[in-house]
Amino acid sequence: TQSTRPQRLLHAVQKNATRGDPRSVVKAIDNFCRQKEWAMNVGDEKGCILDSVVSEVNPVTVLELGTYCGYSTVRIASLLPPRAKIITLEFNPDYAKIARQVIAWAGLEDKIQVVEGPSGEWIPKMKEQFGVKTFDLVFLDHWKDRYLPDTKLLEDCGLLRKGSILLADNVICPGTPDYLEYVRNSPRYKSQYFKSHLEYTKAEDGLEKSVFLG
């Protein structure tokens, strides 16, 4: 039976990356996507912007919406302080299965919790299920039509505090116009656009960083 692209990406990690070395896992995925097959990881160019925001925020609790194969999960977790944790939500069980193995290869299982299912159902359960009070950083990288409803849900569930940071991928390509309009015009956010390119291509894309003002 034919393998899937996520399976081929995992095999590239297991072949080319060093167990327990997150940076080598990131490098192996970027090389696979540049030399073999494009895949929708945040990639190395936008990944550097992600790294700088994570390092600046130094978050203790992180929520990632959209795990895919775990590339950005590994990138973020490798920069977290010792007791910090990241909860990453993935709707697609096949993606979640691959992501768990990529995360294990990087040796970051203790910092990462992969949760399967729809973000709209899991966000209201965060406090009771995972003992989360508020998130210091939320990385939105799942489905463009869910960015705005999930952001409103995070607000309504009291999961954001004054100073929480939302960082959103793909605000240009595929594009999230309703989300952009909201965070750029709402008095409750201070927003900033980081222009970049769609992963592994020359097409424009970028990350939108929005600070929740409370």
Q: Give catalytic residue positions.
A: 141, 144, 169-170, 199
Residue 209 and residue 166 in contact, taking contact as beta carbons nearer than 8 Å: yes
Taking the complex as a whole, how short is the minimal distance between the CB of residue 31 and ligand 7JM, in angstroms? 18
The binding track of 135-174 with respect to Mg ion, each residue x by CB under 5 A or -, is ------x---------------------------xx----
Residue 67 touches ligand 7JM, criterion: CB under 6 A? no
The binding track of 74-113 with respect to ligand 7JM, each residue x by CB under 6 A or -, is ----------------------------------------
Which is closer to ligand 7JM, CB of 34 or CB of 161?
Answer: 34
Taking the complex as a whole, how short is the minimal distance between the CB of residue 130 and Mg ion, in angstroms? 24
CA-CA distance, 170 to 180, in Å (whole number)?
Answer: 11
Report in angstroms the alpha-carbon separations of 52 from 42, 55, 151, 176, 194.
Answer: 14, 5, 22, 22, 11
Helix (H) or strand (E) holding 70: none
Tell me if residue 176 falls in helix, strand or coil. Answer: coil
Residue 156 and residue 162 in contact, taking contact as beta carbons nearer than 8 Å: no
Question: What residues contact residue 25 under an 8 Å CB cut-off, 6+ apart?
Answer: 13, 17, 74, 102, 105, 106
| Residue from 120, 163, 174, 175 in contact with ligand 7JM (CB under 6 A) | 174
Q: Considering CB distances under 5 to 8 angstroms, the limit depending on partner class, which of ligand 7JM, Mg ion, none binds residue 6?
A: none
Q: Considering CB distances under 5 to 8 angstroms, the limit depending on partner class, which of Mg ion, ligand 7JM, none binds residue 75?
A: none
The residue type found at 71 is Y
- Footprint of ligand 7JM (CB under 6 A): 40, 66, 141-143, 169-170, 173-174, 198-199
